[in-house]
Structure 1
Amino acid sequence: MQPRNMSMRGVVDLGAVKAASEAAAQRAARAASAPQAGPDGTPGGGAGGGFFVELTEENFDSVLALSQQAPVVLEFSSQRSAHSIELGAVFERLAEEFAGRFVLARLDIDASPGLAQELVMQAQIQGLPAAVAVIAGQLAPMFDRAAPQEEQLRQILDQLVAVGEQRFGLTGLGAAPGAGRPAGAEGEDDEAEAPGDPLLAPAEAALDAGDFAGAAQAYRNVLLDHPGHTEAKLALAQVELIVRTQDADPAKVRSDAAERPTDVDAQTLAADLDLAGGHVEDAFGRLVETVRRTAGDDRNKARLHLLGLFEVIGLDDPRVVKARAALTSVLF
């Protein structure tokens, strides 16, 4: 087998695709076997399985940023309202059942009156019990003054998840806790080389031959049958970046982007070149600004492209976390 082509300029190195994929798989395995943390960074306990958080002014931005990955349900609650307490128990059961396909963020209006007043005004809440959703930074009404039955609420959440997936490409927060290795296996073979995945063999053969387009199609074929395949998803994002930029004229791309600041195609290609050249924050900043300047389908196209670049770098990268917060600020 010939050495894998490593000619990709900048930080996105084609030769690192397989190694990065294996590292991502190992991180996922370790995360699955470890206690799940809640979206606010604190240990997630109780019925929510780590997908439930008490919303405060301090964690508001970080929780709302999660709406770029999964719908965030803002539940307005008060210990003075028996109906909202009953609804809260139902919500927690469903948060566990949906396992990261939505995030439950409970706002105690008595504990955080300032934040509650602001959100109640924005969401036009008339009374408790009440809930609204945030999908990719956009507010979506759910109900107020009358709580649905559990099965009705489950159907509403199914619809929210479907809208998030189909219109905004939201994939959820990942597997539920406790899906990792058996007890006592922590740390075993963490440094061992992961065995080759036969599903990826056609894509790797195409990479060895320098056939980027063929490799991209092979990864897509894997994802058609295995949409949750971490390695294929990461590798596809990286190879698609190579395909988009390999024949681009950098001078012309940057000139077009400067002349047409609201042209989404011009801005996304310039962002691709930024990323390929190692200018990660410039790429993210360019597309956040494009989202701010545009509307409708153009805005959504720029947003989805930015989410794809997040996948290239890795969702746990601090630059991605920062850019997610900036994107949410622009959208919400």
Structure 2
Amino acid sequence: MKGPFIKDVTIENFQSVLEESLNHLVLFYFTASWCGPCKTFGPQLEALADEYKGTFLLGRIDVDQEPELAGQFRVQSVPTVFAIYKGQPIHGFSQALPVSEVRRFLDDIIARLGIKAPAPEGPPTDPVKALRYWQDKVKANPADGAALLALGRMLIRNSRVLDAREQFLKIDAKMPEYSAAQAALQTLGLAEQVHEAGGEDAVQARLDADPNDWNARYLLACSAASRGDTLVALDGLIDCVQKAPSEVKEEAKKAAKVVFEAAGRDIPEVEERRRRLTRLLF
């Protein structure tokens, strides 16, 4: 699949891609379907484009389909690569170099010209816009585990627990986000309690009105757990176990057990809180 930093260049879009070099390094890669070395070299360049995450744009040009562009650059053989910056050729080569040499080629140009990778565009801070942002991400790529996880957490914040569960279940075991999704699924029962109480905003309003509302503190800790803020959730639940009335204390113990099981045993900060709770209980 073609990544966001790779473009197929034709005579029609050449000028717009060239204009990209006014702000970014552009590598024009001349190739052909009959070129043996290109079959491995091309994918290697594409992998580097993804690895460098926007520090350079890779423009693929098929010399048979775009002979005018090949002639304009006086391409004599394929593969041929030209580095372009500010509309001007900087350097190039006409062979399938090892990946290590291509990386040195790129790093030298990047360092010499002081080129920096563009800052990644993050989701909007506005909750409504952020929800739409992650919905669009999932629609564009239904297998984007990070987007599925983020969308699920946003849906929880909007008290749409069943919709959130649906997103988490789409994250399969091959995705890096699988463990986080399983943890989120295990804590969704806690989010349902918050939903039944009117949602996070309503619970927060209760606590603002009465700082001694331990049930509200407990519910806010449950809400934090359900959206993945594990340490915040555990701090809140342990506080409830230590100070809350007996009924809330027992619920907090049960919830803490769920959160600890979801978090696993690999996070030192979680283990510190596990020991803290153990000291309170025994």
| Fold match (TM-score > 0.5) | no
Normalised by the shorter chain, which TM-score bucket?
A: 0.3 to 0.5
TM-score (norm 1): 0.37
